[in-house]
Amino acid sequence: AMSRLGHPVDALNSALSPDEKREVKRRVRSGETKILYVAPEQLNNEASRELILSREIGLLAVDEAHCISEWGHSFRADYLKVAEFAKQSGAARVIALTATATMEVEADIAEAFAIQPEDCVRTDFYRPNLVLGCTPVTLAERDATLQRLMLDASGPSIVYVTQQKTAEQVADFLCRTTGLRALAYHAGQPTEHREAVQDEFIASEDNVIIVATIAFGMGIDKPNIRRVVHYNLPRSLEGYAQEIGRAGRDGKTSWCDTFFCADDIPLLESFARRETPSLKSVEGVLQHFFHGEEEMQLAPGSTRRVSNRTLAKNNDMKSNTLQMLMAFVDIYHRHIRATTPMYGTYKLQPNDGGRAKEVLGRFRVGWRAVSGRPQRTHEVLEMLSASSASEAVKSALSSHCSAGPKWATMDMEAAARENPGV
C-alpha cells in the first residue's frame, strides 16, 4: 500500500523470487529503499543480516512485540533474535509495538529492548463499537447456532476454531447450509493456498467467511470485518483480545461472539500441559549439557551431535519448546551460544558447576509468579483496564480466573448469567 502511494518501500521475505530478492538487495545497498519490511525469520539468514547492518538505521520498529515474552500468548524464539539484532544494529531509535501485553509481558519487552519505564506508553484498548457476546452451547447446538449468526451477518466474518480438521469441517458445513462463501485456513495447508485464501478475503466486500485456526490474523488489517466468532473457546485472554480486535476497524458496529461448550475444556487443558514444560523437564535438559557425561568428555574445539527430538522426548518436552528453551539460555544467559542462525549448532562454555542452577533459578521465579491465583487475576484485570470492564465482569474474572504461564480460564456460564445482554 505504501509503495502504491509512492513511498520508497521494500519487503524482504521468502515469497520473493531470486530475481526479485536481488533487486530488493540492490535498492537497499544503493540507499534507494528508505523503509524495509523484514520478517523476523529473515534475521536467521546471515546475508540478510549483513545487508541490513550495512545501512544506517534511523528507526527500528518491532511489531507484535509480545512474541518476545516467554509469558506472551504467542512466544516465538525468532523474536529473541530481533532483540539481539536491535542491540547490534546501533539504530538511532527503537519502538516495540503490541496490541496485547500484560504488565509482565510489557516488562519483558522493556528488558529485551532496554526501554526505560518512563518510555513505556500504555493506551486503553476499549472499543465501544464492538458488541461482545457469550453463548452457552452443547455440541449438538453449536453448528446450528453458528449457521444463524452467519446468515444474520452484514459483511465479512472470521470464525476461529482450535483444530485444523475443525476448520475444514465447519467451512464445508457453512458452504452447504448457508449458500455463503466459506474458506478454511490453517497452518497445515500449502503456503500458496493460504496466500490465495487470505488475498480473496482481504479483497472481498460481501459476506465471505474465513474459518481459521490462530494461524490466521497476524498482519490482517481489513476494516470492514463485521463479525468474529470463537467457535471453540480461545486459548488465552490475550489471544481473545487480539482476535476480536480484528473486527470493526472502520469504527462501525461489529459483533464478537464466543461459544461456551464444556467439551472444549479438556482440549484446552491438554494444550496448556503440552506447551508448558515442568521444572523437572527443564532441569533434565540443562543437566544433559552442564553435568552429563557427554559434556565432561568434550575436549575444547570438539563437536558432538545431539538429537533435538531425542532430547525433547527423553525430557517429556515438545521439540519447539526445547528450541525456545535453548534460545532463552542463549540470549539471556550466554552459557549456550547458537553458532548458526537456525539454532542447529551450539557452542558450550566450559562447565563451572553452577550454570544449570543459575538458569533454573530464573525459571523457578517464573513458575512461582504464575502459580498464584491473585497474581494472574491482577494481570488479567490490568489488561482489561478499568474503563473497559464492568464491576460484574471483574468480579466474575476474579472468582473464576486460574493461573497458567500461557492461558487462563473463566466460567463463561457464570459470567453470562451475571451479565445478561453482554
Digits of tens for pLDDT over the chain (422 positions)?
667 777 889 998 877 888 999 999 999 999 999 999 998 888 877 788 889 999 999 999 999 888 887 655 566 667 777 888 888 888 999 999 988 788 888 888 898 888 999 999 988 778 999 999 999 999 999 999 999 999 998 899 999 999 999 999 999 999 999 999 999 999 999 989 999 999 999 998 888 999 999 989 877 889 999 999 999 999 888 889 889 999 999 999 999 999 999 999 988 888 777 767 777 888 788 777 666 544 445 566 666 677 778 888 888 887 777 777 776 676 555 566 655 555 556 666 655 555 556 666 655 544 444 444 344 444 444 444 433 444 544 454 444 444 333 344 445 555 555 555 54
Beta-carbon contacts of residue 238 (< 8 Å; ≥ 6 apart):
66, 72, 73, 100, 101, 102, 105, 383
- The answer to the question of residue 3 being in a domain is no
- The answer to the question of residue 285 being in a domain is yes
Q: What's the predicted TM-score (pTM) here? A: 0.70
The CA distance from 3 to 82, in Å, is 25
The sign one gets for the Cα dihedral 150, 125, 222, 195 is: negative
What is the gyration radius of the CA atoms in the chain, in angstroms?
Answer: 23
> What per-residue confidence (pLDDT) applies to 73?
54
Q: Are residues 176 and 293 in the same domain?
A: no
Instruction: Give the residue among 416, 400, 409, 397 at the shortest CA–CA distance from 135.
Output: 416
- The answer to the question of residue 293 being in a domain is yes
Identify the residue whose cell numbers are 457464570.
414
- Beta carbons within 10 angstroms of residue 168's beta carbon: 17
Burial of 320-336, coded b for 16+ CB within 10 Å and e otherwise, reads ebbbbbbbbbbbeeebb
Work out whether strand 346-348 and strand 336-338 pair parallel, antiparallel, or are unpaired.
antiparallel
Containing domain of residue 412, as a range? 373-422
> What per-residue confidence (pLDDT) applies to 384?
46
Beta-carbon contacts of residue 301 (< 8 Å; ≥ 6 apart):
none
Q: Which of 270, 299, 331 is the last residue of a domain?
A: 270
Is residue 212 within 8 A of residue 185, CB to CB? The reply is yes
- Total number of domains constituting the chain: 4
Q: Which of 270, 292, 312 is the last residue of a domain?
A: 270
- The answer to the question of residue 250 being in a domain is yes
- The answer to the question of residue 14 being in a domain is no
- The answer to the question of residue 211 being in a domain is yes
Per the DSSP assignment, residues forming a β-bridge with 159 are 211, 229
Q: Which of 223, 246, 270 is the last residue of a domain?
A: 270
The CA distance from 255 to 244, in Å, is 9
Q: Are residues 154 and 239 in the same domain?
A: yes
> What per-residue confidence (pLDDT) applies to 72?
54
> What per-residue confidence (pLDDT) applies to 220?
82
Q: Are residues 187 and 294 in the same domain?
A: no
- The answer to the question of residue 173 being in a domain is yes
Identify the residue whose cell numbers are 517429556.
316
> What per-residue confidence (pLDDT) applies to 338?
59
Is residue 409 within 8 A of residue 132, CB to CB? The reply is no
Beta-carbon contacts of residue 231 (< 8 Å; ≥ 6 apart):
142, 146, 159, 160, 161, 166, 170, 211, 259
The CA distance from 174 to 170, in Å, is 6
Work out whether strand 227-230 and strand 254-260 pair parallel, antiparallel, or are unpaired.
parallel
Is residue 288 within 8 A of residue 281, CB to CB? The reply is no
CATH code of 110's domain: 3.40.50.300
